[in-house]
């Protein structure tokens, strides 16, 4: 039988090819890990936001009905609560817009670089 002589260059090329494949697999696994962490965090946040929204909705309805009962006309309670939300929304928009953008951006960057 004829033994095949392995050249150092051929061995080096095979090792380089294996290293490339392994590095690519590692990159895919890291990307998968980051994307699943981001997606699971998003789903959790959406569930929490949904429950908080329902809580505030029920609270708002209760306050509006209560104010309406105190004032004698139910619709007045709803207008007062709507006015409160309008003023709060304007304050947030004009005075806290940049701060909210910064907090959200920092949170996303933190999750991606984790």
pTM above 0.75, yes or no: no
Do the domain assignments include residue 31? yes
Residue 109 — very low, low, confident or very high, per pLDDT cuts 50/70/90?
Answer: confident
Tokens 């920092």 found at: 106
**Could you tell me if residue 3 is inside a domain?**
no
pLDDT of residue 79: 96
Q: Which domain holds residue 65?
A: 8-113
Tokens of 49: 């936001």
pLDDT for 50 equals: 96
Residue 62 lies in a domain: yes
108 within some domain: yes
Q: Is residue 102 part of a domain?
A: yes
* Residue 2 falls inside a structural domain: no
Residue 74 included in any domain: yes
The per-residue pLDDT for range 10-67, each reduced to its tens digit, is 777 888 888 888 999 999 988 888 888 888 888 898 999 999 999 999 999 999 999 9
Q: Is residue 34 within 8 Å of residue 114, measured between CB atoms?
A: yes
Q: Based on the structure, what is the number of domains in the chain?
A: 1
The answer for 72, left when phi > 0, alpha when psi is -120 to 50, beta otherwise, is left
């Amino acid at each position: 039988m004829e033994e095949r002589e392995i050249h150092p260059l051929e061995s080096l090329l095979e090792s380089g090819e294996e290293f490339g494949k392994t590095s690519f697999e590692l990159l895919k696994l890291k990307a998968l890990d980051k994307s699943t962490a981001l997606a699971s965090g998003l789903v959790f946040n959406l569930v929490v936001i949904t429950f908080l929204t329902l809580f505030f909705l029920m609270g708002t309805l209760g306050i509006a009905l209560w104010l309406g009962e105190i004032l004698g006309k139910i619709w007045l309670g709803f207008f007062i609560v709507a006015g409160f939300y309008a003023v709060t929304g304007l304050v947030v928009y004009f005075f806290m817009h940049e701060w909210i953008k910064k907090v959200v951006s920092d949170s996303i960057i933190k999750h991606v670089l984790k």
